Amino acid sequence: MTGDSILVAIALFTPLVGAGLIAFLGRWPNLREAVSLLTAVFLAGVVFYILPHVVSGDSPTFSLFEVLPGLQLTLSVEPLGLLYASVASGLWILTSIYSIGYMRAHREEHQTRFYTFFALTIGAAIGIAFAGNVFTLFIFYEMMTLVTYPLVTHHGTDEAVRAGRIYLGYLFITSVGFLLLAIIWTWFLTGTLDFQAGGILTGKASNTTLLVLLALYVFGIGKAALMPFHRWLPAAMVAPTPVSALLHAVAVVKAGVFSVMKIIVYIFGIDLLHTTGLTVWLMYAASFTILAASLIALTKDNLKARLAYSTISQLSYIILGAALANTWGVVGGSMHIVMHAFGKITLFFCAGAINVATHKTKVSEMGQIGKTMPVTMIAFLIGSLSVIGLPPFGGSWSKWYLITGAVSAGHTILVAVLMVSSLLNIAYLMPIVVRAFFVGPSANSPGETKIKEAPLFCLIPLCITAAGCLLLFFFANDLYQFLTAIVQS
């Protein structure tokens, strides 16, 4: 085993070991939370230590064991996977800090269970990110569904249990009914499930077969929340806000769109899809989800529900980028994994901070809370502007590349979809900011102007992620150069 392989193994097992230590230290909350945070920091350090190896063209690999002749459970790091692993591990640090403030302020029960399964979820995310073949991706994909169930049902209420059933139902039905079938079919067509540059399906089947296979993969990856297999996501908003951040920014939904992108690039190959036009239907399915979810978001008064439908819409930006099957689309969609992660986690952190400080959850209740929570609401404004796609925030670059990809592909109607979507983003996000600072009854009793922000452990992470939205604008070219290796390999 080489040094690079050891790094990959360490990255996989670090959160799993951390989960065991967290469970063992449950009776000592300070130690438990310190281990959770240190595990997150150590994992991020390992992932970023792998970065120079991948930039130099290496692909560190670690094989666990052989399942069948020619089929191994194996991990292999390439730029797209490292991007997702970096987002998951880096934001785990901030989510861990935020969770300490949130869970203590809310006096949540079962905190040890929460931190344990949170760590296991990040372990599954690393497995998905570094999967060397579709079989390995499927195993860790299913593992993620199982270990996030206790997080979704954390409160144990009837509503939480119902949400958990919806969550498991949608994700297992799609993965077993569609995704597993697609994987088996691919094995029989090609004799391999390895992710390979340029794909493995060229010349292996008719266009009709490939079209059906693509649909099985896309709809089988339910975590991508493409309509009509999206209902699990808003249902899961019953979970604590740190879990919502996990679902929407750090791990779960990003596992879905990452998997779609990786299968399109490394199983089908963008050259095959571009020449055959097999993804045109997917472009319009993604466009429908982008617009429909945005329209639904406009109707939601509950802040987390509004953000949930916003996420469904934004995820389909990434699917659209993959479906464009050209350099601009793939790079823009991959870049949006990062840009959306920072923007949306900022918004959810702010939603949780508002809940902790004021116990308010509805948009209609947030009149002038910007006067008592100015830091939180300024961060919310920054996150919103990045999600909308306005300079100088990171989201503007990923949307620009997606627009360029649509023009390059000759689908100018998709440019209109992206423009209308940005206007809808403004319509469902900016009224929250306007209400918080300028509209509605005072959030204070008469004469009271005291600032009442959430605890510091909640406030610091949302400030850092808001700053990240700005920094990503200026470092977008570095990210672009890194991601071009996906389409040039």
Domain boundaries, the chain: 1-250, 279-489
Q: What is the pLDDT of residue 449?
A: 55
Entry field: residues in the chain: 489
Q: What is the pLDDT of residue 328?
A: 93
Please give the residue that has the higher pLDDT: either 130 or 105. Answer: 130
Q: Are 140 and 127 in contact, with CB atoms under 8 Å apart?
A: yes
Q: What average pLDDT is seen over the chain? A: 90
Give the strand pairing for 61-68 and 71-76: antiparallel
Query: Residue 316: which pLDDT band, with cuts at 50, 70 and 90?
Result: very high
Residue 142 has pLDDT above 60, yes or no: yes
Q: Are 454 and 101 in contact, with CB atoms under 8 Å apart?
A: yes
Q: Are 245 and 98 in contact, with CB atoms under 8 Å apart?
A: yes
Q: What is the pLDDT of residue 447?
A: 45
Helices (DSSP H) in 27-131: which residue ranges? 29-55, 79-105, 111-129
Distance between CA atoms of residues 34 and 356, nearest Å: 22
Q: Are 116 and 34 in contact, with CB atoms under 8 Å apart?
A: no
Residue 248 has pLDDT above 70, yes or no: no
Residue 236 has pLDDT above 90, yes or no: no
Q: How many CB atoms lie within 10 A of CB 208?
A: 9
Query: Residue 445: which pLDDT band, with cuts at 50, 70 and 90?
Result: very low
Q: Are 435 and 339 in contact, with CB atoms under 8 Å apart?
A: no
Query: Residue 376: which pLDDT band, with cuts at 50, 70 and 90?
Result: very high
SS3 at position 475: coil
User: Shortest CA distance to 35 belongs to which of 52, 55, 17, 57?
Assistant: 17
Residue 152 has pLDDT above 50, yes or no: yes
With b meaning 16 or more CB within 10 Å and e meaning fewer, what string describes 431-448? Answer: ebbebbbeeeeebeeeee
Distance between CA atoms of residues 137 and 125, nearest Å: 10
SS3 at position 372: coil
User: Shortest CA distance to 154 belongs to which of 240, 244, 242?
Assistant: 240
Residue 357 has pLDDT above 90, yes or no: no
